[in-house]
Each structure stands twice: as structure tokens, then as C-alpha cells.
Structure 1
């Protein structure tokens, strides 16, 4: 999955038939103007391909990055804004999609009402926390907060059983950290130490804003930091979470109770909405053993303070101006380097889309999606799958029995493309214009209820995990499926014309379909079979060879650094493998096109030059230093520059196209060159 919000925009007009006269074709090719020709492509292809655009488009003060993703996000935001405004102006029937969209958006734009309400939308939930007096009432309240989307103490969800993908299981994993990742609580570099210090100040200020006196808030902020640090101490590192077998510990509820004697899980599960359960999957048992001890070692008052913080932190962005601004100051400015808030309309549009995207998506595909988009995406996706099969058949390191199983798994990958055939039913959600926070909470409660309903029922493999207007894509190993939403058909700079095949296969083919399919064969995905079950289908010798190859990519990326922080090669290896496989499969599919076979030049660029520049365009992202630092610490994706320079340095055709020689910074010697798929 491309968590950097992989965006591709191809055209805002019809894809099936586009006719342009000669005047219309006289356009400036982004592949030319994006370049910085003062940079040698043999040294840094990322900045060569994109540096010209970066110079003309500095990062806005309201953003942590700028590039292709921001361009497309702005385009979609404007489209969704139009949908929201039209819905808000309409005299829509109560309970209709338009009424929900319009009222949700209107409530978010009514800053006067939001400020007047203050923290009152959370009043009843604060009262529940205040009423906690013992361990049972504490567990009951923690469970209640989970139904509101707060990950208090731990993480709980209903999802597919890794070893029986047809069954939904109760899953427990580590969580409860306001800083997200454990390393923020322990790393000793000056930047991280400063973040910890600022975090305690932030928590204190937020507690003051919900009514605590400064001296009390200061004491409670220290208590919260101590509690979270202890949770972090028993949490696994980012790279350790990548091992699906090590993070799969299925046990009976009775066994779960036995390792956590201070917690009655039968009682807690009922409060979480599960009437009866026989077994659970616990990702990190050592975390729950520690959590069990903390239930008694910290006072009830300590836990109540932590729960109040957890609740207000969850809903801070939807409360009054002071709380929202303080939340922005820490999470966006301190952690992300963002200096100013986005305009309110943009923040509310993004939240409306995030909460009611299922409803907005139905309008989006009718009003903004080019006709023929779904068909074109499927065409490209199937072409990528075909060349993938050809590559697997020719692998010199894999035996025939394993090849046969790999090809079968590849043939069974389900492609969810464009938009779903059926939409989720949101009719039970009540939305009005009275409270923005309450509207967000109503959707969150509905989402939690829908998740809980899945327990004990067969997995619905038709369900989508993204909206058609989401700039992203994913591979789900448990379903052996990829999902490529409709908006991946669009590419900026080519509005009103069909991009050439180098663009189509460099961006949509390589960095989207090729990338996601390769996730089925990365260090994690390769452990799941064609049915989505965690099940070894490799021979021992082939698996050994595969791990030797993946270790090469771990070693390669571990040498890349931003300032004093180095990329975590172990944690990012799945995405790095997918990037490498994707760009290769996109190139192999492009070689079959008429454009490539005829060696046709466009804008003075050869097919090979255009393809690799198009791949560079797919990751044209300029990020500030704070965000890059945060990404290295918390994300399984490498920074954009390494998503370009890293995989390309392994490809012989790239070396030949841009004359990469020994001594060039982009040169990767044969002995270190990574070739997997």
C-alpha cells in the first residue's frame, strides 16, 4: 500500500475517445519542464526529474510536502467541495445522502457554533470517565472509548484470521500511545528528546483547555507521559511488526485471561460489543502482560487522567478554536514542520470526505470520473499481470514447483478497480447541523458498529477499503486482492489529451498496478497463499534464496539517510520490494506497446527516457525536514527520493538509458544489484 498517498491523475476528459486539433496538441510537456537540467541524472535522478518543478513550487506554509500528490489532492478537494456546497444549499430530504453530506459540511464550517459549544460535545463521555471508581468500571470505560474511535490502552478490531481468511476474528494489538510509535519515547537524539519535551507541554496545555488548573495539568501531563512510556516499553518496534507469524498468537479467551489476571476479558468483550467469544488473536502478548500489571500499578486517578487525554486528543480537530489550534501546533508544527493551518474549508472538506466518502464517491464517479476510466485501468492492470507471469516463468533462481504456485497465486489476484459494484448502507447514521464533533462521532460509532457486526460472519470479499476518490491503492494479502480507486486514472499536465503509453505505464502501470501486485510477493505478502491464508508455499531452498535477495534490498536502503537519520531497511523492505517490482513490470509491459516498438520520440525524448522520467514523476514529492524525519521513524515507506533512486539504480535498462557508469552516484555494481521478480 502506498501510504504516501500515491496519486495519479490522467485526464479530466473522456478516456475512450479524445480528439484534439493541432492547436490543442501544442502543449508544454511536464516531463520536460519538471526537470532540473543543472543536475546530472547519473548522480541524483530524483532531483533531475523533478527539481525544476520544486524550484517553481515551494512547499506552502500550510503543508508538509508539495508535489504530484498535493496537486491532485487540491483537484479532488475542489471537486468534493463543490459536491458539499451543492448538498448544503439543497433543501434535501432528511436522511438522504445530500442531507447528510450538506449538513456534515455545514456543521464543520460553522466555527461560531463550534466555539460556542466548546468541549460540551464530550460532556457525557467525560462524565463516564469521572465516574470510574475501580478496575471493572475502568475497563468498562476503556471499552466505551474504543466504540468512539479512541485507542485507549490498547488496539482492538475485528478482521480476517491470517490462517483462515474466510473467518473474521477478534484481534488485539499494542496501542494507546499519543506519540504513535515506541521510538519517540526512547530515542536519545536531540530532535526526539525535544519532541518528547514538547509533547508533555502539549498534553499539559490540552488538559488546561478542558478545565484543569495549570499546576494540576502539569502533574497529570507527567503522569500520562510516564504511563505511555511504560506502554511503549512493552511495544514492539516497527520492523518487528512486519513478521505475520510472530504477530499471530491465537488463544482462547480463558488463556487470554490467564496471562492478564487483572483483566476480565469476558466482561470487557461484552462492553466492546461482543456478546460471546471463544478465542482471540493477540498480536503482542508481552504488551498485554505489561498492560495487565499497569492496571493495578497506576492509580484509578492516573488512568482517568489518561482516558480524558485520550478522548480529547481523538476529537481535538473538531472542537473549539483553542483546542484545535493547540492540536495543530504539536501534531502538525512540532512533528510535521507545518507552519500554518489549511483554510477551514479544506480541512472540513477532507473530513467530510473521510467520514462520508462512501456517499460522496457515488456523486464523484457520475460528475467527475472520465468515461471509460474503469475499463482503461483494468486493461493496464491485466497487461501488468501478464508480464508478471512471463517474468516468473523466466526466473533463474526459483524452482518449477514454487513457480507453479507463484503463477497460480498471481492468476487468483482479484483486481478491485475504479469503484465498488455495491455501496455501503449509511442510512442509519443521523447527521444534523448542530454539532460538528457529534457528527464525526456519529460516523465513528457507525463504523465501529459495522466492524463488530462482522464477527462470526463470513468475510465479505466484495467490500472495498477505499473510496473511488481516494489517492491511494492497496494489496490485501488476506483476500489476495489489489484495490485501485478510480482517481488513479488522472495525471496532472495532460488534461484534455490522452497521455502516451510511457506515462500510462510509468505511473499507472509501474507505480500503481505493478507495485500493488508485487506486494503479493514481498517479504510479507509472499507468506500468504492464493486464498489469503498465512501458509508457506515455498520450497526450503527457494525461500532461502528469496530471503538472500530481500536482504540485499534491506542493505541497500539502510545506507540511505536524511540528515542524521537513516532509512529503516528492515521496516521498509516490503514497500521497497514493491517499488522495484512495480517499475520493472511497468517497463516490461511498456515494451509491448506500439510507442516502444516503433522507438517513437515525443518532446525529443526516447521511449526509455520518457518511461523512467514518468516513473520519477509518479513520486514527485518535495517534503520538509520535519516530515522526512517523522516518516523515517514511523512509516514503512521510504522517502520519495529513495523510491525513485533506489529501484532505478538496480535496473540495467535505466543505466543504459542515462549512461550510468562506475563512479556515478546512481551506479549500483552487479554484485549489489537487487533482482527479485
Structure 2
């Protein structure tokens, strides 16, 4: 998922479903142009990255990427680096050109997107003004917290902070009703932590203890800069409060359970659950009165949070909210705030050596606030109709292959197969960019007010989401901008979405051989399709409704297979003392394995009766797997990797290659893997889901 504002804010975390991190093709019943063409295609894989000292039968990931892993350097301003980051850098550079061209224009009509793009960027780059203002931009908001006289005023204050993107102990957002997907409904979710996950508070790991100590220092620093009389005492009280919240937070594995997190309640029922907090006033203050009910994601957390709010002294609550506001505002304020923020959130949490250059942070700010406005120009310059057409054909091929794969499943009954086919037939596909661009006319941008610009942007986006209530489902909406290097599946929309920026090498290379492209972007397409049938996506039907369409025997067979996959990944340990969480990453691992399996099937169908050539000594089957492996090359700093293992539902890149191919008989055949090889798994231990 990306880090743009839509996804960064705590209230938007439930907005998207599962996400990831071509040559010319026709429908799978026909031959692809490249299979028939006489002009030879390029390999599409950079062999300079190979490590010839490693056998592909032992460690395929390092065979394909080993020299790159030994020689590449993680940039000082990054916690990780690899194919995705390289493309994101490319996208970022393209956006910089666009934004700076717009900003440099002499005449920009007030209220236009051009004026807003240029003025927002200039407000971020005006460091002289930012330095001179110091804490002043946030003063009114800090005074609003300081003026709190009674806990009975918390609903309105929490609503104000939520609209401004400032975390509170819980958050309300609006999305499709998971059990009635033709309407929008309000969800409430646990929130309020300043560390990346509850485990950062509760685990006794030595490095996490150091992180907590650094966090305490960071809280104290911001509180001192904010004018707190006893910053050390305030920091201890804030950390203690967050620790108490963390103890009641559901862990990430439990939060993946879509049935457990769907608890429909009326507003009155929710107020009985939390008698100390007025949900009716909170909902009114947010403008969400049209909601048909409330889906409470973690009911016992809300009971605990209500009790904790009641028992926490009002001065401590005010200190906590003050810190939340300062933490959110720090990157927009003067140097002392900015440096304190980077020292903890960059250096400590991710191991970064340097803060990102100012222009990169300015581009991120513009993209977060006006992403589709900038994206429209990006698409005009960087995405051709031909690329979209090729991608559409490839997606069709993958869908046909998935359909055939369902029919061929030996473990699934005809009745359940029919249900799966019905769901697949209702998939919606979005490629490149939205058909309808977002309207930013209601957003005011002032060249002299960076803090206000970002606050208004948060409020604009929150209002856009709240205003869905009572309206028909907007099926044209996108959850990512076109310039995002990623892809996603939405279970309530039952759609797969591929932004323009991911459709370039090494994912999609128009000059490369079909086999390589099927292994790369084909695997990505298959991954997103498979999310509709992973352990959580498979709980929804083709209309996006959360319901059980599985026969009991089929469900047991599915769970047996996915349980084996979970156990496999739990055995991977990329960092001393830490392993991949097979239950947390299960959905993404199913997406990888099933996605690559169906991509291989689609490639073979695309050949028809044509025989693919050998290119640079590699057969087409070998090129298919090479295409997949080079996509996932990545380097990680230890702290960034630790955070990924604790919080990210995606496995590290190494296992997105080695963890997948060892389960595929096609890989064994392509590279002659035999018993005793590092990639070998006995047939009875190999997993095939879809």
C-alpha cells in the first residue's frame, strides 16, 4: 500500500482491501502476437544481477538477485530498497517535474488545480517562512485542547482532531457495508498508538525496549518544544496511557478476521457499550448522522477504552492529545520539530541515515493532498493507450486461466466451484487511471499557510468519505492514484486495480519476451485476482457481501492447505530472533502462490500450439520464473525489517520468491530441482490452493 495521505490517516486504514506492495497479448484462446512474430524479443531480465555461485535449485532468489544484493546500497534516506522503490523514485521524479513546472507558471487562476498544486508545493518549500513561524501555525489547535474543561466535551474535540488527521483512541470512517455492499456505513476502529504496533509496547525484546526509551525521549522533546512545564512527567504519563491502550488492542492477526471484526450495532447499542462516551454527539460532530448503523471492529477494546478514558485524569488526556497533535504537525513546523520527528520516526524506527530531501517531502505533500489532480498530468505524459490495451488483454488471459483452474481443482465440490465461478465472473478490472477524476474545487490552498493547507486537505478528504453516507456506491472511485507503484483488490467492490505507474519494467516491459512478462506483471495480476479467493477474500461473494458460500468439506480442505502454507512461512527467519508471522501474512502468501500458478497457466494457454524459443540460454519456463524473481529484489535495514515483520501482512521479498517456487512443480521441471536441493520440498508438503 502506499503512504499517500488517503492511506496514511488512521481513519482511512480500512478503505482498501488487499494490495501488492506486457507484451501484446490476445485472449487466451488465441496466440499472442509475440508468439507468432518473427522479431525476437529481449530476455527482459538483467543477468548482471545474477550470482553464478548460487544454484537456482538451492536459492532461486539469490541466483537471480545475488550480485545486486551484494553491490546495491540502500540510499541514506530509505529504510529499504529494491524494484518497487526504484520505480517509486522514478514516479517521484516525474511528479517533481510536473509540480515544479506548474509552480513556476507566472499566472495561475485562483481556485484552479494548477494554483493549488503550485501554491501547496511553494508553501512546503518556503522554509524561511516556516522557520519564522515556529509553533505559531498550530497554536489555535493547541489552545483548543488546552481549553478542555470536562471529559464530557471529548466527543466534539475528538471529532475535530479526527477531521484534522490527528489520532485519538478510536476513529470513525465510512466504507461499504461488508454484509450489505450496496450501501455505505460507518465503521469504528481502535487507534491512538504512537508506536507502529501494540507489540512495540508489550514485547520485552531488547531492541523494542530501546525503541520505547527513544519514544519516551521523543515525546518529552515535542512536549518541551510545545511549552509543557513538565515535559518529562508528561512523557511518562502519555507513554503509560498508550501502553494501557496497547494492552487492549487486538493484534494484527485477529484484526484480519473479517467476521470477528464485523459487529453491527445501533448508535444506542454502542452507547451502552461505552456509557462514558456520547457516540450520538461524536457522530453528529463528524456529520455522519446518515449512517444506517455502526460496525464496531473490536467491541471489547471500546469497552476498555471507555473505562480508560474515565479513569485517566483530565490533565493527562490533554497532554496525550497535545502530543498527538504535535507529532502529526511536526514535519510541517520549524527545524526543531522536524528534526525531532525524523530522529525518532526516521532514524530509530526505520534506521534511516538522512531525512528525505525537502523537494521529495514537498512532492509527497502535494500528492497526498491533490493526488488525482497531479495524476491526471502524470498519465498524459507517462501512460499510453497501447499500454492500457495490452494490460486489458493480459488480465483477460489471467481470468480465463483462473476460471479453468477452478474447474480443475480436485479438492473442491461442484457446488462450491459454481459459487467461485460466479464470483470470478463478477470481477471488475481498473487499469491505469480513473475514468472520473476527483474534484478538488472545495479545497482551499494558500501559498502562505502550509500547516493550514494540510489541515484543510485532511478535512476535505474526511468530508469526502463521510459524504458517501446515504448515496449510491461510487464504483468509479479509485483508492490509489495513477502514479502509485502498487495494485490492490477490494473485497466489497470485488475489483482489481492496477495504477499506471506499476506498468513499466521490471513489471511490464514491452520489449521483453512474453514468458518474462507473464512471470512479472502476470504474477502481479494473478496475485490480485487470488486475493478474491484468499483466506479472507473468499469470505465475500461476487457482489461484495460477506457471507459463507462454502461447503463444509470444501472449507476444511481449503483450511488444511492454507494452514500448511502458514506453517511454511512461519519457519522463515530473516532477522535473528524474529520469524515471518505465517498467520499475519497468509493472505498475501496465498496471493503470491496462487497468482504465480495462474499466471503460468495463462502463459501456456497464450502459446496455443506455438513453441517458444530459447533466449540467451533460458527456456520459456525458466524465463517465466526469472521474471517473477527479479521483481522482488530488495534490501532492508534491520529496523525497517523488524517493523515489517511486526506490522506488515506481506512477507519479505526473499520469501515471496523462494517460498512460492518451492511449492510449484513447474519450477522443479524448469530447473531440474531434485531431492537434496535447497529448494526441494517433498511432494506431500507442497501446497496448491487455486
Q: Normalised by the shorter chain, which TM-score bucket?
A: over 0.9
Q: Distance in 2 between matches of 1:191 and 1:106?
A: 39
CA 330–640 in structure 1, closer or farther in 2 if over 3 Å, else same: same
Q: Distance in 2 between matches of 1:275 and 1:26?
A: 59
2:417 to 403, 416, 420: 403
Q: Distance in 1 between matches of 2:307 and 2:234?
A: 20
Q: Which residue in 2 is equivalent to 1:156?
A: 172
1:184 to 200, 219, 222: 200
1:500-548: CA deviation from partner (whole Å, max 9, x where unpaired): 11222111111x2100000000000000011000011111111111111
Indicate if the aligned counterparts of 2:634 and 2:653 stay in contact, CA closer than 8 A: yes
CA 26–390 in structure 1, closer or farther in 2 if over 3 Å, else same: closer
SS of the residue corresponding to residue 212 of structure 1 reads coil
Indicate if the aligned counterparts of 2:506 and 2:631 stay in contact, CA closer than 8 A: no
Indicate if the aligned counterparts of 1:649 and 1:666 stay in contact, CA closer than 8 A: yes
1:645-677: CA deviation from partner (whole Å, max 9, x where unpaired): 111110011112222222222111112111110
TM superposition score normalised by structure 1: 0.94
Indicate if the aligned counterparts of 2:45 and 2:516 stay in contact, CA closer than 8 A: no
1:60 to 75, 78, 81: 75
Alignment of 1:245-324 (within 5 A): 245-275=259-289, 279-324=293-338
Indicate if the aligned counterparts of 2:350 and 2:639 stay in contact, CA closer than 8 A: yes
Q: Distance in 1 between matches of 2:136 and 2:476?
A: 39
* Residue 66 of structure 1, CA deviation: 1.5
* Residue 493 of structure 1, CA deviation: 10
* Residue 43 of structure 1, CA deviation: 2.3
* Residue 615 of structure 1, CA deviation: 0.1
Q: Which residue in 2 is equivalent to 1:49?
A: 64
SS of the residue corresponding to residue 51 of structure 2 reads coil
Indicate if the aligned counterparts of 1:502 and 1:590 stay in contact, CA closer than 8 A: yes
Q: Distance in 1 between matches of 2:199 and 2:526?
A: 32
Q: 2:488 aligned with 1:484, yes or no?
A: no
Indicate if the aligned counterparts of 2:290 and 2:469 stay in contact, CA closer than 8 A: no
Q: Distance in 2 between matches of 1:17 and 1:224?
A: 63
Alignment of 1:361-380 (within 5 A): 361-380=375-394
1:395-421: CA deviation from partner (whole Å, max 9, x where unpaired): 100000110110110010100111111
* Residue 38 of structure 1, CA deviation: 1.6
Q: Distance in 2 between matches of 1:572 and 1:412?
A: 26
SS of the residue corresponding to residue 437 of structure 1 reads helix
CA RMSD in angstroms, aligned pairs only:
2.3
Q: Which residue in 2 is equivalent to 1:76?
A: 91
* Residue 287 of structure 1, CA deviation: 0.8
Q: Distance in 2 between matches of 1:377 and 1:151?
A: 39
Q: 2:330 aligned with 1:326, yes or no?
A: no
- The unaligned stretches of length 5 or more in structure 1 are none
Indicate if the aligned counterparts of 1:142 and 1:307 stay in contact, CA closer than 8 A: no
1:187-231: CA deviation from partner (whole Å, max 9, x where unpaired): 111111111111111111111122224xx1110111111111111
1:52-78: CA deviation from partner (whole Å, max 9, x where unpaired): 223332111111111111211111111
Q: Which residue in 2 is equivalent to 1:210?
A: 226
Q: Distance in 2 between matches of 1:419 and 1:386?
A: 24
Q: Greater CA deviation, 87-96 or 596-605? A: 596-605
Q: 2:55 aligned with 1:40, yes or no?
A: yes
SS of the residue corresponding to residue 463 of structure 1 reads coil
* Residue 155 of structure 1, CA deviation: 2.1
Indicate if the aligned counterparts of 1:559 and 1:566 stay in contact, CA closer than 8 A: yes
Q: 2:116 aligned with 1:104, yes or no?
A: no
Q: Distance in 1 between matches of 2:40 and 2:152?
A: 70
* Residue 601 of structure 1, CA deviation: 1.5
Q: Distance in 2 between matches of 1:571 and 1:117?
A: 44
Indicate if the aligned counterparts of 1:253 and 1:278 stay in contact, CA closer than 8 A: no
Q: Which residue in 1 is equivalent to 2:516?
A: 503
Q: 2:574 aligned with 1:536, yes or no?
A: no
Q: Which residue in 2 is equivalent to 1:383?
A: 397
Q: 2:666 aligned with 1:666, yes or no?
A: no
Q: Distance in 2 between matches of 1:256 and 1:422?
A: 37
Indicate if the aligned counterparts of 1:590 and 1:596 stay in contact, CA closer than 8 A: no
CA 540–570 in structure 1, closer or farther in 2 if over 3 Å, else same: same
- The unaligned stretches of length 5 or more in structure 2 are 4-17, 25-31
Q: Distance in 1 between matches of 2:553 and 2:374?
A: 50
Q: 2:627 aligned with 1:611, yes or no?
A: no
SS of the residue corresponding to residue 602 of structure 1 reads coil
* Residue 440 of structure 1, CA deviation: 1.5
* Residue 559 of structure 1, CA deviation: 0.4
Q: Distance in 1 between matches of 2:520 and 2:293?
A: 44
CA 333–632 in structure 1, closer or farther in 2 if over 3 Å, else same: same
1:352-388: CA deviation from partner (whole Å, max 9, x where unpaired): 1222111011111111213312111111111100000
Q: Which residue in 1 is equivalent to 2:433?
A: 419
Q: Which residue in 2 is equivalent to 1:134?
A: 150
SS of the residue corresponding to residue 224 of structure 1 reads helix
TM superposition score normalised by structure 2: 0.93
Length, aligned pairs only: 664
* Residue 25 of structure 1, CA deviation: 9.2
Indicate if the aligned counterparts of 2:508 and 2:521 stay in contact, CA closer than 8 A: no
1:357 to 347, 351, 371: 371
* Residue 30 of structure 1, CA deviation: 3.6
* Residue 29 of structure 1, CA deviation: 5.5
Q: 2:213 aligned with 1:197, yes or no?
A: yes
Indicate if the aligned counterparts of 2:489 and 2:532 stay in contact, CA closer than 8 A: yes
CA 547–122 in structure 1, closer or farther in 2 if over 3 Å, else same: same
Q: Which residue in 1 is equivalent to 2:408?
A: 394
1:445-479: CA deviation from partner (whole Å, max 9, x where unpaired): 10011111112222212211111111111100011
Q: Greater CA deviation, 96-105 or 485-494? A: 485-494
* Residue 303 of structure 1, CA deviation: 0.5
2:108 to 80, 84, 92: 92
CA 596–221 in structure 1, closer or farther in 2 if over 3 Å, else same: farther
Indicate if the aligned counterparts of 1:65 and 1:624 stay in contact, CA closer than 8 A: yes
1:58-100: CA deviation from partner (whole Å, max 9, x where unpaired): 1111111111112111111111001001100112111111111
Q: Greater CA deviation, 539-548 or 347-356? A: 347-356
Q: Which residue in 1 is equivalent to 2:28?
A: none
CA 29–263 in structure 1, closer or farther in 2 if over 3 Å, else same: closer
Indicate if the aligned counterparts of 1:506 and 1:618 stay in contact, CA closer than 8 A: no
Indicate if the aligned counterparts of 1:64 and 1:623 stay in contact, CA closer than 8 A: yes
SS of the residue corresponding to residue 612 of structure 1 reads helix
1:141-195: CA deviation from partner (whole Å, max 9, x where unpaired): 1111001011211121011111001111111111110013111111111111111
SS of the residue corresponding to residue 444 of structure 2 reads coil
Q: 2:541 aligned with 1:526, yes or no?
A: no
Moved over 6 A (4+): 1-5, 24-28
Q: Which residue in 2 is equivalent to 1:430?
A: 444
* Residue 31 of structure 1, CA deviation: 3.2
CA 457–26 in structure 1, closer or farther in 2 if over 3 Å, else same: closer
* Residue 2 of structure 1, CA deviation: 8.9
1:582 to 595, 600, 625: 595
SS of the residue corresponding to residue 145 of structure 2 reads helix
